[in-house]
Chain A
Amino acid sequence: MKKFYGIAMLMAATALAFAAPPQMPLFHFENFTTANGLPDNHVFAVLVDGDRVWAGTENGLAVYENHAWKTYTTADGLAHRAVLSLALDKRTGDVWAGTMGGLSRISGGRIDSYTQLTSGLSNDVVYGVSVEGENVWVATAAGGCRLNLHTGQWSLYNERNTPMSEIWAYSVAATPSKVYYAVWGSGLLEYDQRTGRWDKYDDPDGENEMVLFKDQGLIHEIVTSVSYVDNIVWVATYFGNSRYDGRYWHNFLTKDSGLPSNFTNAVKGIDGKRAWFCTDKGLAYYDGVNWAVYRPSLTDGKPEMTVRDAQGTVSPIAVTTAPAHNYILGIDFQGSDIWVATAKGLSHGILQREP
């Protein structure tokens, strides 16, 4: 009996060891660079609006439609050639572009721009923008702003009227209930739309680079990106990532997750369980249990995909394509496809296999 039990255990262990890795989405990546129509290879932001794809680059705002690129520049009224962030007003189809020189609204081909000299915008360096209802929320190098499109009123949010101790706002996510600001060096700010009150989430370890209290709060003060979906806050920092459900925090670090790097430029939640992480060492997808990483190999540049299961087992997946570069800056979704902004081009991930 003991012998049979032992054999069974051995078989089970072998089966586990050789079990196929969990199925994760598999993409064929088509990459766009200056060689095939992009105005610049540094792509800071990407935004999908139906059949149109907008790319915020270092040298203009490009839009891909009907298999062709068109670029808007300062000559068209764009506030600055370097486009750092994009947001879609889903009701009107207007696109808002945060640039290094102000905020631009692209509406039916017309561009209206707002700068710190011509409007109430707090600062011309616009790292983030988000549209909710009649309000456009903006993250700038001098705090946050809200433009009311009906009244034209600008409201500024900074160290004088919020718990923001630093005013380098990197990203904003606005919803009808909550607005979150990712603040570089000042944690995560939460604005309650109903009460008009601000709250702040900090790293309980302070500004230490060590993680003394895992899952006790925000992973780090240097917050780069925030996404709020299904009442779940996904937070990216330069030192790991966090998920907050309103009561409990869960943090993600390379040492105990499938993240390829703790240095994360952006996060985008699909729902409360799944999210995409844009890191300096590749694009990562988390399905609530397993992880997948997509990138050119860090050693030889060849296309690479790995899957990490719940036990931490990492398996390579054979692929022939990868995002244009490891340094990932943004992502958006077009049905089951993904569009990825990287430091060396824009990548269209065409889904080949459902998870």
Chain B
Amino acid sequence: MNSRRRVHLGAVMAAGAAVLLLILLWSVIDRPARAAAGNAEDYASPLELLFSPDGTRLYVLCNQSNEVRVLDAASYSLIKTVAVGRAPRGFSLSPDGTRLFVTNSWDDTLSIIDTQTLAVVATWPVGAEPSSVVEDRGGTRLFVANRISGDVAVLAAQTGEEEKRLLAGRGASYITPSPDGSKLYVTHVYPNPHAHTTQQGNRLTPESEITVIDTARAVVVERIPLPRIAGVFHTAFSADGRLGVVAEVHPKNLVPLAHVEHGWALANTLTVFGADVGRPVEVPLDELERYASNPFDVVIAPDKSHIYVTHGGSEIVTVVDVQRLLHFIHTHPGSFAQDLSASANYVVARIPVGHNPRGAALTRDGSKLFVANRLEDTISVIDTRANRVASTITLEGPKTLSAVRRGEQTFYTARYSFQGHYGCASCHIDSTFDGLTWDLEPDGFGRDIVDNRNLEDIKDTEPYKWNGGNPNIPMECGPRTEKYFWRSENYDNLTLAALSTYVRSLPARPNRWRQASGELTAAQERGKAIFERGKDKFGNPIAVANRCSYCHSGPKGTSQKSFDVGTLKATDHASPLDTPQLTNIVLAPPYLHDGSARTLEEIWTVFNPNDKHGRTNDLTKDELNDLIEYLRTR
């Protein structure tokens, strides 16, 4: 054995020992830490902020404690805490300020709070994963964005009765009215499905949209295209309605992510639109050597002087000078979204705030910007003349950080990656997925394409990674992530243990296709029988290893083993593939290891010609539909 090999072997052994130590540490920390953490809902986790119309109250939407906290806007003292449903995600006031509407994303309900009594006066059932709500100026209709069904439900404002649903983008989440209330602008967090396939399968640049709804007619009148965008968050308008701005992420998922050092694997941008601009223009928020990760909320000063953008990953607020931005746009016609030097022309400040800043609200005079630091249970109060945090409001809650909480902070921050490029949450939006396929490995363009898997309920589904190469979460989140993603800094042992604890703690969202009774519908029952069958329709036995229920066994639908199901491509390094868990599988297209199946149907109608991915070619179309109905319940 020569010395180089000895060194190499030594390094491998050392790395293995370190990982083993981490696993042990994590397993030791995990249980007591989780016990100490108690209920994750103890943390307030402020997500969105609103001022009352008279500016005297600050409403704080607390995402994990399932509350709206009402603060005195001058003293910041707590006036009242109002309990709402699970995982509230969005809220808004009626135009007259008498009612506060809250979307409870895990209960599929809307809480209506009387702002005089600060009591919930009604709770209405709405669509799947309601994420924001707006009432029209006349007080006749409510518009609710449903993330799972990708639509906007139109409800009678006084009764909650659903009138209809309007098709929005995939993962519809945020609604912003125009200043005159005549239009609603709806954004969505997952890219729209592609209509086409190419020689590269469905590997095309992502596309998103701003869905524009005519409020009076309650119909979609326009879709502003957002080419190459995946992950669109809040929109804001200037008071004169001439300038619209939307916060978004621009992934470059078609080239190896390992090229992060070359810059721009995920750009963080604004699309600017409206009469002041003409055609919509995408402008970067990043700098040449520092990224402004995960833009979320955007606010425009009342005098239209500045735009404020919160960045959940970079933990900053970016301040954009509007006049300089417009001048730059008008003097640089065309797209300059890839020119990271552009932001120096209009970004005038980066203000550090707390962990995972999300919602923001300006005082009526624009002198103070309030920013909700979701993973810190604080609100930063920014003096907008000095562009610095003048004070910090601490919300009531646990004073100590649990391992889960520390892990969540690590999950959402971008501080570990090269130039603060991105964090885990950049691709796992709200700890789920991003709807994209990625080229991760530095093995050449277009090789080893992988679908980004959903993180919900992934505890005890190891191994991880599509080739099953990572035996546990610490390995997945630690060495692999550090090597392929961060390329800059590694976690210390405690940080990695906390991150792993958080990832293991991620629950599954409620399944919307299961009946409340727990019983399966007739179609689901038929599908279950197909899933579990041991004989095909001709009476021939199906080999045990070729039954759906063999590989996708257990409560999470994975045997945790790897198989070749006939879906590997010439561009894949040949290996069996890890069996993905089925938890909420219906929510996370595309499918297969490389995302080549756009829908569940395509797994079998296109990519299973030889019955290697289960015996399915004997099924009629009705039966395949039944199988899919059953899979929706998993």
Contact = CB atoms under 8 A, between A and B. Distances in A.
Real binding pair: yes
Interface of A: 76-77, 91-94, 105, 107-113, 116-120, 122-123, 134, 142, 149-156, 158, 160-161
Contacts of B628: 120
Interface string B135-178: 00000000000000101000000000001111100000000000
B220 A93 contact: yes
Contacts of B598: 118
B625 A154 contact: yes
A77 B195 contact: yes
Contacts of A151: 513
B599 interface: yes
14 contacts: A77-B195, A108-B167, A110-B192, A112-B167, A118-B599, A118-B601, A119-B599, A123-B621, A142-B621, A149-B165, A152-B632, A154-B625, A160-B620, A160-B622
A interface, over-half SS: loop
Contacts of B258: none
Interface in B204-245: 209, 211-212, 219-223
Contact of A113 (B192, B195, B211, B221): B195
A108 B165 contact: no
A112 B151 CA distance: 14
A118 B602 contact: yes
B284 interface: no
A109 B624 CA distance: 31
A156 B620 CA distance: 11
Nearest to A105: B167
B602 A117 contact: yes
Interface residues on B, range: 35 or more
A148 B165 CA distance: 12
A112 B193 contact: yes
Contacts of A158: 622
B191 interface: no
Given A116-B605, A118-B601, A119-B599, 14 more contacts: A76-B195, A92-B164, A105-B167, A107-B167, A107-B220, A108-B220, A108-B223, A109-B223, A119-B601, A122-B621, A150-B149, A150-B165, A153-B523, A156-B622
Contacts of A77: 195-196
B164 A156 contact: no
In order of increasing CB-CB distance, the 5 nearest A-B pairs are: A108-B220, A77-B195, A91-B164, A117-B605, A120-B625
B222 A109 contact: yes
A120 B601 contact: yes
A352 B211 CA distance: 41
A74 to B, nearest CB: 9
B570 interface: no
Nearest to A122: B621
B526 to A, nearest CB: 11
B190 to A, nearest CB: 14
Nearest to B513: A151
A111 B149 CA distance: 17
Most buried by A among B151, B196, B599, B602: B599
A76 B625 CA distance: 27
A320 to B, nearest CB: 39
B513 to A, nearest CB: 7
Contact of A156 (B220, B223, B621, B632): B621
Nearest to B146: A150
B88 interface: no
A310 B222 CA distance: 51
B165 A94 contact: no
B130 interface: no
B222 to A, nearest CB: 6
A332 B127 CA distance: 34
Nearest to B604: A117
B606 A117 contact: yes
Most buried by B among A142, A153, A155: A153
B interface, over-half SS: mixed
A332 B118 CA distance: 53
B609 to A, nearest CB: 12
Contact of B523 (A110, A116, A142, A155): A155
A155 B599 CA distance: 17
A150 B149 CA distance: 7
B621 A92 contact: no
Contacts of B149: 150, 152
A94 B151 CA distance: 13
Contacts of A94: 167
Interface of B: 127, 149, 151, 163-167, 192-193, 195-196, 209, 211-212, 219-223, 513, 523, 586, 598-599, 601-602, 605-606, 620-622, 624-625, 628-629, 632
Given A108-B223, A153-B523, A116 B621 contact: yes
A310 B466 CA distance: 76
A120 B605 CA distance: 10
Contact of B220 (A92, A113, A116, A149): A92
A152 B589 CA distance: 14
A120 B602 CA distance: 10
A160 B223 CA distance: 41
Contacts of B127: 150
A140 to B, nearest CB: 10
A123 B605 CA distance: 12
Contacts of A111: 195
Nearest to A133: B164
Most buried by A among B195, B222, B523: B195
Nearest to A94: B167
B195 A156 contact: no
Contact of B211 (A108, A117, A142, A154): A108
Contacts of B209: 110
A222 B18 CA distance: 76
Nearest to A78: B195
Most buried by B among A108, A134, A161: A108
A222 to B, nearest CB: 25
A272 to B, nearest CB: 28
A123 B164 CA distance: 28
A122 B601 CA distance: 12
Given A109-B222, A155-B523, A92 B625 contact: no
Contacts of A119: 599, 601
A276 B602 CA distance: 42
Contact of A92 (B167, B602, B629): B167
A150 B513 CA distance: 11
Most buried by B among A105, A109, A118, A142: A118
A112 B219 contact: no
A152 B192 CA distance: 16
A168 to B, nearest CB: 15
Nearest to A119: B601
A119 B601 CA distance: 6
Nearest to A123: B621
A335 B39 CA distance: 62
A118 B523 CA distance: 19
A119 B586 CA distance: 13
Nearest to B621: A122
Nearest to B219: A93
A153 B167 contact: no
Contacts of B222: 108-109
A316 to B, nearest CB: 45
A158 B222 CA distance: 38
B529 to A, nearest CB: 16
A110 B165 contact: no
Nearest to B211: A108
A112 B599 contact: no
Contacts of B165: 92, 134, 149-150
Contacts of B622: 122, 156, 158, 160-161
Nearest to B605: A117
A57 B306 CA distance: 51
A93 B212 CA distance: 13
A19 to B, nearest CB: 49
Nearest to B153: A150
Contact of B223 (A110, A118, A153): A110
A91 B163 contact: yes
